[in-house]
């Protein structure tokens, strides 16, 4: 019995890892020139929440190191996609917000990737995707619990 569970676990994670790798490669090719998935992720989060975040908060949200997030934010700032300002109450902290150019870049990226994603959902079937989402969400939540 334990062997079957272990085999199932290996098969599940093998499929998840391969699907993740293939999806990332496909999405990366569809993004506007110069935009990386990490850039899109940050812009998309900032656009959705509509508020500022600290680099540390963004690093936690994406489960990356502060150094990795600092690098991503520096590239986004250089491109004019985010504004980074000091925290007026604590000079050691900074706040990041999306710029109008960043919102436009995020919207352009969405226009490029949504048709591809929608086509995949259509091909697989909406009912199958709806059935898979709760399992995938539970997996994510389980791993998030382990991170804390």
- Taking the model in full, what pTM does it have? 0.85
Q: If you average pLDDT over residues 103-111, what whole number do you get?
A: 96
Please report which helix (H) or strand (E) contains residue 25, including its range: helix 2-30
DSSP annotation of 53: B
Mean pLDDT, the chain, rounded, equals 93
Model confidence at 143, pLDDT cuts 50, 70, 90, reads confident
Q: Round to whole Å and give the CA distance between 64 and 55.
A: 11
31 and 40 in contact (C-beta within 8 Å)? yes
Side-chain half-sphere exposure of 36, counting CA atoms within 13 A: 9
**pLDDT value for 16:** 95
* Alpha carbons 134 and 13: distance in angstroms, whole number: 16
Token code pair at residue 21: 């790798």
**Averaged over 96-111, what is the pLDDT?**
97
CA distance 27 to 36: 9
Nearest to 84 by CA among 92, 95, 76, 70: 95
pLDDT greater than 90 at residue 144: no
Q: To which residue do tokens 């985010």 refer? A: 82
Is residue 1 pLDDT above 70, yes or no?
Answer: no
State the pLDDT confidence band at 108, using cuts at 50, 70 and 90.
very high
99 φ, ψ to 5°?
-95, 165
Examine the pLDDT at 145 and tell me if it is beyond 90. Answer: no
Instruction: Please check the confidence at residue 82 and state whether its pLDDT lies above 90.
Output: yes
């Amino acid at each position: 019995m334990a062997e079957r569970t272990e085999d199932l676990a290996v098969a599940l994670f093998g499929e998840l890892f391969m699907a993740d790798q293939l999806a990332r490669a496909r999405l990366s090719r569809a993004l506007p020139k110069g935009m990386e998935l990490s850039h899109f992720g940050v812009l998309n989060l900032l656009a959705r929440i509509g508020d500022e975040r600290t680099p540390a908060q963004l690093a936690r949200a994406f489960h990356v190191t502060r150094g990795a997030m600092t690098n991503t934010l520096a590239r986004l700032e250089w491109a004019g996609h985010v504004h980074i300002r000091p925290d007026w109450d604590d000079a050691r902290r900074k706040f990041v917000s999306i710029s109008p150019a960043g919102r436009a870049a995020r919207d352009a990226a969405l226009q490029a990737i949504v048709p591809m994603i929608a086509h995949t959902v259509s091909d697989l079937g909406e009912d199958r995707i709806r059935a898979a989402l709760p399992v995938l969400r539970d997996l994510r939540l389980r791993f998030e619990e382990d991170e804390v």
